[in-house]
Chain A
Amino acid sequence: MAGNVSTLAHVAKHRQRRSLQDPQWLRVALIGLALLFVAIFLVVPLVAVFTEALRKGVGPYFAAVADPDARAAIRLTLLAAGIAVPLNLVFGLAASWAVAKFEFRGKALLIALIELPFAVSPVISGLVYVLLFGAQGWFGPYLGAGDHPWLGAWANAHDIQVIFAVPGIVLATVFVTFPFVARELIPLMQAQGKEEELAAITLGASGWQTFRRVTLPNVKWGLFYGVVLCNARAMGEFGAVSVVSGHIRGETNTIPLHVEILYNEFNIQAAFAVASLLTLLAFITLALKNLVEWRHRRTLEAAAAADIRQFVNSP
């Protein structure tokens, strides 16, 4: 998390002290070096996306974005994110409530396991679902292959397919975005403790009222922050979704997969036009992230200040 407010304070703090000032040539050299690095690795790729997307003008740009296959890909991406984000949001709230408000054995292990999907390669995240639901997988025979006397027949009758179909894409998306909300909420709720909730309960509020009126308002910015990051990953995921998708145009292609297909067909301009949508999503994500960090830090600092006052005022 970038601390813009406190960073400013620190810049000021360090500027006052002559002994801590780096010589002018060093400052210029380091700033130049940092800007050069950022320009080469971050700015140029961004500019390249939009230059390539608009290479043939505005008409072909919108044609590529409005293409029926592109629109189908956008719909599928919205659907996958629309299912994965709320599921992981509910999980994040449940996990952080349990971890932050109660003591139990194995808590550290639970926190470590929540972060596990970050350590797993996206390709492996997709692979494990193929192992479960693919034709050779554990549950595969029950899904459409018809081996099982009644489960297979039921799956056949209802035409249920997970891998190379929409459910697989949703499951892979849920897997890779699993930790985002929980990992924001857990430290936040732990820092806030449970005194306010205890007070509410003591005053006669029900558990649900306490959660809705006390806990949720306290963590709303952290929650929003987690949802923004979760959504960005859900809409942009490529590797995991690629393994389970089957790449059927207009049916099982998400936006990133559609970009890949266009690119591999040497339809470079259209690939970048669709990619520019994802780049805009990245810009919105970064803007919201910075906005939340700014607001969030102020609430956190206010909370810390209130804590100090409480401490000073107590006998």
Chain B
Amino acid sequence: MRPPVSRRSVLPGFGLSLGFALAYLGLIILLPLAAAFVKTAGMTWADFWAAVTSPRVLASYRITFGASFLAALFNVPAGVVLAWVLVRYDFPGRRLVDALVDLPFALPTAVAGIALTAIYAKNGWFGQWLEPLGVKVAYTPLGVWVALTFIGLPFVVRTVQPVLEELEPELEEAAASLGATRAQTFRRVILPAIRPAIITGFALAFARAVGEYGSVVFISGNLPMFTEITPLLILTKLEQYDYRGATALAVVMLLGSFAMLLLIQLVQRSSTRRARA
């Protein structure tokens, strides 16, 4: 008995392409990541717990997750305003600004790091004005926040922008003709429509910021217990040949990012379901 012909694809290359893709994925991504988990599995629970909850490590979580959260939070209103201006208004240089928004994706992080440090250092363009006011940016948590805000800038803009473009003007017209003010229309009609995009953009910016290294290490000053981020602490432990300690921290961060990815998937799935309903 032969299988029904229609079940088989006429197109060739399925085995070859999927086989190559899976082998490559396995060798380049999954096997190395598995090494981190296997290495940690060799630790006792007490050792693992001690490695991931020492005071210096806890301080690094606070600055990493705290600054990432605040940077992503700041990027929400800033990103919505930018997306709104780019979609709804016409002004000279609009296309240039639109292209520039992607700069943090395109500019190598080390370059962003040294440029931001030069600007916010004591004798820098902004630093020389801010320091007399008592605002120290470079080599403080505020500097970490500046770098992470830069890195996360495109995410909210690029998730909200297409939703605003697709928004039917009839909805807003209906609201206006029913007597709603512009502010009411924004709060009751536009905001609910772009809310899932805002949450996705926020989560992407946050996830990116948590793992960020290059742009932060220059401006943060890397002071333990103060501005030392978790990725740098992993590198420090590695340079001291504390492979287990470094890997344990990496596993905590990996689990955190996987949880974030799952959350983003859930938000997107629930918003598409709502859109279909």
Q: Could you list which residues of chain A lie within 8 angstroms of chain B, going by C-beta atoms?
A: 1-4, 6-7, 10-11, 13-15, 17, 19-20, 22-23, 26-27, 30-31, 33-35, 37-38, 41-46, 48-49, 52, 87, 90-91, 93-95, 97-98, 101-102, 104, 110, 112-117, 119-124, 127-132, 134, 136-138, 171, 174-175, 178, 194, 197-198, 201-202, 207, 210-211, 229, 232, 235-239, 242-243, 255-257, 259-260, 263, 268, 271-272, 275, 278-279, 281-283, 285-287, 289-290
Contacts and interface: CB of A to CB of B under 8 A. Distances in A.
Interface string B227-248: 0000110110010010100110
B14 A102 contact: yes
Contacts of A20: 169, 172-173, 176
A180 to B, nearest CB: 11
Interface string B91-114: 101010111111111111111101
Given A120-B257, A289-B106, A2 B213 contact: no
29 contacts: A2-B98, A3-B162, A4-B95, A11-B88, A19-B173, A20-B176, A34-B81, A34-B86, A37-B78, A37-B81, A42-B153, A52-B115, A91-B24, A95-B21, A121-B231, A122-B213, A122-B214, A124-B254, A194-B11, A201-B11, A207-B11, A236-B109, A239-B109, A239-B213, A257-B110, A263-B218, A268-B118, A278-B111, A286-B102
B32 interface: yes
Contacts of B50: none
A113 B109 CA distance: 24
Given A42-B104, A94-B20, 20 more contacts: A2-B86, A3-B165, A10-B165, A38-B97, A48-B115, A98-B21, A102-B9, A110-B22, A123-B231, A124-B254, A128-B35, A201-B12, A229-B105, A232-B105, A236-B107, A259-B114, A272-B114, A272-B118, A278-B107, A279-B107
Interface in B55-104: 78, 81-82, 84-91, 93, 95, 97-104
Interface string B2-17: 0000000111111011
A207 B115 contact: no
Contacts of B100: 38, 42-43, 286
Contacts of B125: 44, 48
B220 interface: no
Contacts of A121: 210-213, 231, 234, 250, 253, 257
B23 to A, nearest CB: 10
A46 B39 contact: no
B99 A2 contact: yes
A116 B86 CA distance: 31
A143 B211 CA distance: 30
A85 B247 CA distance: 28
B186 to A, nearest CB: 9
B150 A120 contact: no
B69 to A, nearest CB: 16
Contacts of A279: 107, 111
B36 A128 contact: yes
Contacts of A115: 261
Contacts of A272: 114-115, 118
A290 B214 CA distance: 26
Nearest to A9: B165
B7 to A, nearest CB: 10
A119 B260 contact: yes
B16 to A, nearest CB: 8
Contacts of B82: 34, 37-38
Interface of B: 9-14, 16-18, 20-22, 24-25, 28-33, 35-36, 39, 78, 81-82, 84-91, 93, 95, 97-112, 114-116, 118-119, 124-126, 149-150, 153, 158, 161-162, 165, 169, 172-173, 176-177, 182, 207, 210-214, 218, 231-232, 234-235, 238, 241, 243, 246-247, 250, 253-254, 257-258, 260-261, 265
Contacts of A171: 28
Contacts of A229: 105
B11 A122 contact: no
Contact of A98 (B14, B149, B162): B14
Residue among B14, B88, B98, B254 having the largest count of chain A Cβ atoms under 10 Å: B88
Nearest to B15: A98
Contacts of B116: 45
A46 B115 contact: yes
A120 B33 contact: yes
Nearest to A272: B114
Contacts of A260: 110
B169 A91 contact: no
A42 B150 CA distance: 8
B108 A31 contact: no
Nearest to A283: B106
Contacts of A94: 16-18, 20-21, 24
